[in-house]
Structure 1
Amino acid sequence: MELTGSQILMECLKEQGVDTVFGFPGGAVLYIYDELFRQKDNFTHILTSHEQGASHAADAYSRSTGRTGVCIATSGPGATNLVTGIATAYMDSVPMVAITGNVLVSLLGKDSFQEIDVTGVTAPITKHNYIVRDVNDLADVIREAFYIANEGRPGPVLIDIPKDVSINKAPYEYKVPRPIIRETKNFTQEDLEKVVKMIEESEKPYIFAGGGVTISDAKEEAVHFAELVQAPVTCSLMGMGGFPGQHELYTGMIGMHGTKASNIGVQNCDLLIAIGARFSDRVTGNTAKFAMNAKVIHIDIDPAEINKNVSVDHFVIGDVKEILLQLNTMLHKQHHEPWLEEIKTISKNYPLVYPEGLTGQYAIEKLYELTNGDAIITTEVGQHQMWAAQYYKFKDPKMFITSGGLGTMGYGTGAALGAQAGNPGKLVVNIAGDGSFRMNLNEMITAVRYNLPIKVMVINNCVLGMVRQWQTIFYDNRYSFTHLTDINYDSLADAFGCKAVNITTKEDVEPLLKKALEMEGPVIINVVIHMDEMVYPMVAPGAPIDDLITE
């Protein structure tokens, strides 16, 4: 049958199992939105307050559900407003399909009104992108885009559709989506046998779990592997939940704001097994002094990550879940009681601590207790993000949704919308800083409009906290443009049509936080802390990770 380009787009989205899209209409996508109106029984469309919010929502929808997130924007500024969200998804390997409109094919390249070369702009931050100049190519492009977004190391794909392509007609025939097959072709039995041999020869192994464990949904396999190896486990920021935070082998986050046990342990181990991690600078500190006493095994799906930042002694390239499944059948349980006791002693002697009184750490710890670790947590970027990683114990993948690689302030509220839309029965809490929150707080309007009952806990210190922390430690207290004007959150919530709760004393935290979590609809929870609260431990830039500033 013959369909318009807009109809083909809808049919292909249905082929891929898409039922929720986030977006903002405009001239170049009017035919697409007209078709969305006709097919409103088939799709939930969430109109965000800004295209960036749509991209963050699609990103978090994907992270929290395991399904591909979809966002739509018009040409020109609509398309460029997606760029930060696309880059965020790219840095954290999130499968997302961004659909943009463009001017007529005949007007491309002529500096037409609201024209932008969005494929040129997004080439460095997508796995692939397309501009569809012929409606006859549209269906195949959409199908290929969803496949590319999900195969191998996932990531965002952009499809740019000129306006006439969205209305021109072409034959359409339903096709079953191409299956995603876990990658096993790049490793051999010998590769796995060498891993087993290195583990058996080790006396002090340490496991470093990255975001690949979460992306591959390999939590059970990772736990079994760690219990067989009998090794302590640390996670990167993106690995949180890939290994449960309550497990006795877990020692906390690694890196710039990692625990002493994790950082010292990795420096003292004789075998470091990195699983689905890319050895970012925030993890390694001074790479020349990182895990100097250890042989390093790197398990990752992306060959480009091998020996990119840290030289390794052995690597296995493939899907993390499949590799761990096979290793777990080959390994006999190891015994490293003295090593585990050594790490436990470090943890006991150097626990995470924070000052008395009302602090962000205390509020987040209470949030964990009141939710029993069952909430989906999104964050903005800054001190509050690090405190969330340190003090909220994540038990499952897909429950900690944060911008790791790009560090996108303004990510959390849009992300909370996407997570809530994808998980309507779940409690979703965005842990925010007041600086990050104000960047995209307009998305609270979206939460109210669609009755998405997100809770936003603003750790409010009236400064850009992480920047101020650096200014305190490294810039001789020169606080250049990091002080913020406070917001009346009661008035803000009233204007947006949501509720607000203000917490100003330590004694208020538990009762008022409990009250806020039980309220219906979106709620802003204003937690007022002192501007000089710090994130500790901290590793100075260029220092080895066991050289920790603790106060």
Structure 2
Amino acid sequence: MGKQMNNGAELLVDALVRHGVDTVFGFPGDTSIAFYDVLLRRADEIRHVLARDERHAGFMADAYSRTTRRLGVCEAPSGAGAVYLASGMAEAFAASVPLLAITTDNNRRSFGTAPISEVDQEALFSACTKWRRSAERTEDIPALVEEAIVAATSGRPGPVVLILPEDVIEGVVEVQGAAVTADLAAPASEGAAVTAGLPTAPAVTADLPGRRVAAPETAIAEAAAKLSAATRPVIVAGGGAHFSGAGSELTALAEHLGLPVATSIHGKGVVDEAHPLALGVIGGNGARPYANRYLAEADLVLFVGTRANATDTLGFTAPKRGETVVLHIETDEHRAGRNYPGSTALVGDATTVLAQLKARVEAKTTEVAEELAEARKLWAESLAPVELPGEVLDPREIVNALRDAFGPDTWVVADAGTPTPYLSSFWEAPGDGWRVTIPRGHGPLGFAVAASVGVAVGHPGERVLCVTTENSVAMAVSEWETAKRLGLPITYVVLDNTSLAWIKMIQHLYSGSRYFAVDPGPIDPVLLAAGMGVPGARARTLDELATMAKEAANAEGPTVIHVAVPEHMDVPPPVPVWQAALSGEAKSRPIH
């Protein structure tokens, strides 16, 4: 077979394409020139999406991964670029979202000489990645790409970073054939031509999950016995169930045993929320009261791909720690049952383990569907209309109007803060994937503005609804230009209460209404949008909003709708711990 000379950037792109990667989100810099030169020449094989900063590239890759179940890839140059990208990966790390980040670094000859963009990247990324490696030789790049992808998609998924110094990515090696595997242990003499391997059959691809592992039969037997003996069991599914594609298996097990399915915010929509056995979101942010009540009264809870943290479980009261039998399906043995000591750990892929359980338990007939139907009816009847002054609209009515206009099958991306509890409670998602993406790893403001680009790129031509806030827009408005440049069909709905409303509400409840640093000056999203060529308008009534939303749902490119909403102390959102504080039931702040 023939020989050719390739630089490290060529080897990198070869490896990405070979493993099924076809999209990279990023921002160029001095150290990544060689990479961008190859991306230009090979644009028919791999698409580069130019973000307006590296943090946003991380958010785009994150949402791309969640909604396509394909590995999101992002890249950044040295120095400040790497620092920004680390900020964009922290949400993915906390939320167990698999990403591959590629960074370039200074030429190694300059290490220690205080060059302008010097930073210890391995130390920088240590807190927000599960694997990180700096390449030392050009010929190592293909094998390191494969190792990185395996790390990102195995066990507990998460972000990884491959660091390529400038001299490594620009280094030239001799490539011979397509079936030779690089020997990572063989030292290369300086200046010598080196043969790099290009495996033709990659062990892993960009599809998720990377592996489907079954739980040990002893654990399955124990769990099946407990599940069969339970009188009021319930399932709680999280983001891990989405990445496994476990919706059908969750629904099948629920129908087999007649037990309800609840979700965390990350798990929202893994089963159809209109299903008779669906409880919807539970926990401390946007749960319907009857859902949390059911969890608190359950005698057994089966967690599926969720952290089961304080927010998801209402401070470990739903279900009750120490009182409820807990089974926990997780890919990471160190996280299975960690927050509920004494749990039965079922370490494996959610889809696989759910099928194992269903095969071991006999079908049951229950009246749970009738009980939940009555609970939903009473809850809906309890929702009194809200009287608001002037042009201020109720967020609950906004969500209802948006769902009427866009339909349940649209892709929804929302920011932390005001959009989260209202979408969690009032937007019913279909059970066909991660259609409602809300960042609950760290809850970064501005996530949705950038992440909506990743969703739109991953689902060409499909409408994306981004529900954000004026403060998130202030942090990420530059990505409206990206949406305009790419002609992406994204509708940005900006909920504006003129303050840092979430923090202000906490000061209201727990700091004696002593407000500080929560009332910045106003911004005008419509004018900001116009400056980037994006059409926008202010909706002053629900009728105006309904009309604008229907027009936006059929628009070709991005649009912006600006809506004034009330302060949280005037119209408290469905946040159970705040409602408890307002009623006098709780005086102290809840744990996180």
Tell whether the structures are fold-level matches, with TM greater than 0.5: yes
The within-5 A match list for 1:43-442 is 43-170=46-173, 171-175=195-199, 176-179=201-204, 182-184=211-213, 187-257=215-285, 258-287=287-316, 290-291=319-320, 293-337=323-367, 341-351=370-380, 353=383, 355-356=385-386, 358-395=393-430, 396-442=432-478
| CA drift at 1:537 | 4.0
Cα distance in 2 between the residues matched to 1:372 and 1:538: 28
Matched-pair contact (CA < 8 Å) for 1:303–1:317: yes
Cα distance in 1 between the residues matched to 2:320 and 2:291: 11
Q: Residues 181 and 252 of structure 1: is their aligned pair in 2 closer, same or farther, counting only changes over 3 Å?
A: closer
Match of 2:556 in 1: 520
| DSSP-derived class of the 2:494 partner | strand
Q: Residues 126 and 29 of structure 1: is their aligned pair in 2 closer, same or farther, counting only changes over 3 Å?
A: same
| CA drift at 1:355 | 4.0
| CA drift at 1:507 | 2.5
Cα distance in 1 between the residues matched to 2:266 and 2:147: 27
- Work out which of the residue numbers 520, 533, 537 in structure 1 matches 2:571: 533
- After superposition, give the CA deviation of every residue in 1:335-381 in whole Å (9 maximum; x if it has no partner): 232x5544544443334736435211111122122222111111111
Matched-pair contact (CA < 8 Å) for 1:279–1:309: yes
Higher mean C-alpha displacement, 30-39 vs 342-351 = 342-351
| DSSP-derived class of the 2:312 partner | helix
- After superposition, give the CA deviation of every residue in 1:59-109 in whole Å (9 maximum; x if it has no partner): 111111111111111100000000121111111111111111111112224
Matched-pair contact (CA < 8 Å) for 1:232–1:249: yes
Cα distance in 2 between the residues matched to 1:149 and 1:407: 21
Matched-pair contact (CA < 8 Å) for 2:298–2:319: no
Matched-pair contact (CA < 8 Å) for 1:55–1:71: yes
Matched-pair contact (CA < 8 Å) for 1:204–1:336: no
Match of 2:38 in 1: 35
Q: Residues 288 and 489 of structure 1: is their aligned pair in 2 closer, same or farther, counting only changes over 3 Å?
A: closer
Cα distance in 2 between the residues matched to 1:88 and 1:177: 29
Higher mean C-alpha displacement, 473-482 vs 259-268 = 473-482
Match of 2:176 in 1: none
| DSSP-derived class of the 2:116 partner | coil
Gaps of 5+ in 2: 174-194, 388-392, 588-592
Cα distance in 2 between the residues matched to 1:485 and 1:353: 33
| DSSP-derived class of the 2:488 partner | coil
1:469 is the counterpart of 2:498? no
Matched-pair contact (CA < 8 Å) for 1:260–1:346: no
Cα distance in 2 between the residues matched to 1:542 and 1:460: 25
Cα distance in 1 between the residues matched to 2:363 and 2:244: 24
Cα distance in 1 between the residues matched to 2:586 and 2:471: 26
Cα distance in 2 between the residues matched to 1:144 and 1:281: 34
Q: Residues 373 and 115 of structure 1: is their aligned pair in 2 closer, same or farther, counting only changes over 3 Å?
A: same
Cα distance in 1 between the residues matched to 2:403 and 2:12: 42
Matched-pair contact (CA < 8 Å) for 1:537–1:548: no
Cα distance in 2 between the residues matched to 1:473 and 1:11: 56
| CA drift at 1:384 | 0.9
Q: Residues 289 and 261 of structure 1: is their aligned pair in 2 closer, same or farther, counting only changes over 3 Å?
A: closer
Amino acid at match of 1:302: D
Matched-pair contact (CA < 8 Å) for 1:129–1:158: yes
Task: Give the superposed CA RMSD.
Answer: 2.1
| DSSP-derived class of the 1:283 partner | coil
| CA drift at 1:240 | 0.6
| DSSP-derived class of the 1:416 partner | helix
- Work out which of the residue numbers 451, 464, 483 in structure 1 matches 2:519: 483
| CA drift at 1:290 | 4.3
Higher mean C-alpha displacement, 348-357 vs 408-417 = 348-357
Matched-pair contact (CA < 8 Å) for 1:216–1:321: yes
- After superposition, give the CA deviation of every residue in 1:377-430 in whole Å (9 maximum; x if it has no partner): 111111212211111111122212221111111100110001101101211111
Gaps of 5+ in 1: none
- Number of corresponding residues: 544
| CA drift at 1:215 | 1.3
Matched-pair contact (CA < 8 Å) for 1:199–1:229: no
Matched-pair contact (CA < 8 Å) for 2:276–2:372: no
Matched-pair contact (CA < 8 Å) for 1:265–1:343: no
Matched-pair contact (CA < 8 Å) for 1:448–1:496: yes
- After superposition, give the CA deviation of every residue in 1:95-143 in whole Å (9 maximum; x if it has no partner): 1111111111122244322011111111121110111121121111111
Cα distance in 1 between the residues matched to 2:498 and 2:110: 48
Amino acid at match of 1:18: V
Q: Residues 120 and 12 of structure 1: is their aligned pair in 2 closer, same or farther, counting only changes over 3 Å?
A: same
Cα distance in 2 between the residues matched to 1:326 and 1:89: 29
Matched-pair contact (CA < 8 Å) for 1:383–1:534: no
Cα distance in 1 between the residues matched to 2:529 and 2:40: 31
Amino acid at match of 1:178: A
Matched-pair contact (CA < 8 Å) for 1:378–1:401: yes
Amino acid at match of 2:300: L
Amino acid at match of 2:269: G
Cα distance in 2 between the residues matched to 1:373 and 1:420: 16
Higher mean C-alpha displacement, 166-175 vs 63-72 = 166-175
| DSSP-derived class of the 1:486 partner | coil
Cα distance in 2 between the residues matched to 1:95 and 1:436: 24
Cα distance in 2 between the residues matched to 1:220 and 1:289: 25
The two structures have a TM-score, normalised by structure 1, of 0.94
| CA drift at 1:236 | 0.4
Matched-pair contact (CA < 8 Å) for 2:526–2:561: no
Matched-pair contact (CA < 8 Å) for 1:379–1:430: yes
Amino acid at match of 1:72: E
Matched-pair contact (CA < 8 Å) for 2:268–2:280: no
